[in-house]
A = this chain, B = another copy of it.
């Protein structure tokens, strides 16, 4: 939604406001930076998130200062940024990055009730590693009780994307300077089994699916 807050000011041509684009970018990652005001000063804290439908979910320990602050209904700003390439121009001035970024404003709400909390934790787990939830020992009552889950609706949101080649000033194209794009990839490496893994246990299917693959 394009509002005064979310409108992309610098390079408005790179701004996107459709949910499809926002969801696609959010689904490329599972780490965001949450900004809020605490004691009058801004704080930016990285945290894991999960998205389902139009909601973003966060979790942590009951005692987390961030979650305790957010729960009070303070304004938050969330950013997710993926850097896809270095864009190397002939001039220093026109160097750039290719990236996809989402910035979201809103107010988080506590997810209450064991069933809703479990559902939200599954959404977060799925975001980090699809299907892992079905392989593990699920949270028990005690674990649920010390875990706080918050939900943020994806309404005041914008995406900013640069996905192009080099753009130099006309006269600079004559310079004998290499220019181009260097992609940046994130990949999972080979899984390292826990030293205390019981013998005979094969790598989990959720892990086999991502080993040596791109994020």
Contacts and interface: CB of A to CB of B under 8 A. Distances in A.
The 9 closest A-B pairs by CB, nearest first: A183-B189, A35-B44, A35-B35, A178-B204, A46-B81, A33-B33, A35-B42, A179-B194, A44-B79
A203 interface: yes
13 contacts: A44-B79, A92-B125, A92-B133, A95-B125, A97-B128, A166-B194, A173-B196, A177-B201, A177-B204, A178-B201, A180-B203, A182-B189, A184-B187
A107 B101 CA distance: 25
Nearest to A132: B88
Interface in A165-202: 165-166, 172-198, 201-202
A149 interface: no
Interface string A120-132: 0100010011001
Contacts of A207: 88, 178, 180, 182
A45 B103 contact: yes
A79 B10 contact: no
Nearest to A63: B10
Given A181-B191, A193-B179, A204 B95 contact: no
Interface in A74-111: 75-79, 81, 83, 86, 88-93, 95, 97, 99, 101, 103, 105
A41 B105 contact: yes
A138 interface: yes
Interface in A130-184: 132-133, 135-140, 143, 147, 165-166, 172-184
